[in-house]
């Protein structure tokens, strides 16, 4: 696995959860939740990119359990495309089926009320997206070494 920090966005029409990993890609941690409709959204994202210096950006791609796309899918794809246009960093869409549900469950397990902590759920969902992306990346590296 290439050394360098990666970040993930759990894009939603109201909130965008953000997570980042350490340069070795071992630990994914929540970073913040952005308001999707904020007038300075792209300035906030630019600040995050500048501060975190990621080598890769992952964006959760919401897909129905049956595999169908939705309006949310289109919005996330557009967000990823805009990220790719604004920053000279590779952007990859990651299947995020159940990431928000999984995030809510994790919060419930530690006694946090998910309904009162929607911003935190978005961050935890971004962590899930990033962890999944890191697992994929690690698996690809193992396969490449064995071939």
Residue 13's domain comprises 6-146
Q: pLDDT tens digits for 60-93? A: 998 766 777 778 899 999 999 999 999 999 999 9
pTM of the model: 0.84
Give the closest residue to 131 by CA, choosing from 27, 37, 24, 48: 27
Residue 1 belongs to some domain of the structure: no
Residue 114 belongs to some domain of the structure: yes
Domain count, the chain: 1
Residue 42 belongs to some domain of the structure: yes
Give the closest residue to 82 by CA, choosing from 29, 136, 126, 41: 41
- Is 110's pLDDT higher than 90? no
d(Cα 144, Cα 132) in Å, to the nearest integer? 18
What is the CA angle 49-74-1, rounded to 5?
Answer: 45
The CATH number of residue 139's host domain is 3.30.420.140
């Amino acid at each position: 696995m290439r050394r360098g920090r990666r970040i993930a966005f759990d894009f939603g029409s109201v909130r965008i959860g953000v997570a980042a990993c350490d340069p070795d890609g071992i630990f994914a941690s929540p970073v913040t939740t952005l308001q999707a409709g904020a007038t300075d959204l792209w300035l906030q994202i630019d600040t995050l990119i500048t501060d975190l210096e990621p080598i890769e950006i992952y964006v959760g791609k919401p897909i129905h359990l049956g595999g169908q796309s939705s309006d949310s899918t289109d919005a996330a794809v557009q967000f990823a495309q805009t990220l790719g246009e604004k920053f000279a960093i590779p952007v990859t869409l990651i299947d995020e089926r159940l990431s928000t549900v999984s995030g809510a469950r994790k919060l419930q397990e530690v006694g946090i009320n998910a309904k009162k902590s929607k911003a935190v759920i978005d961050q935890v969902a971004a962590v899930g997206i990033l962890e999944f992306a890191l697992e994929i990346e690690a698996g690809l590296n193992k396969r490449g070494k064995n071939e």
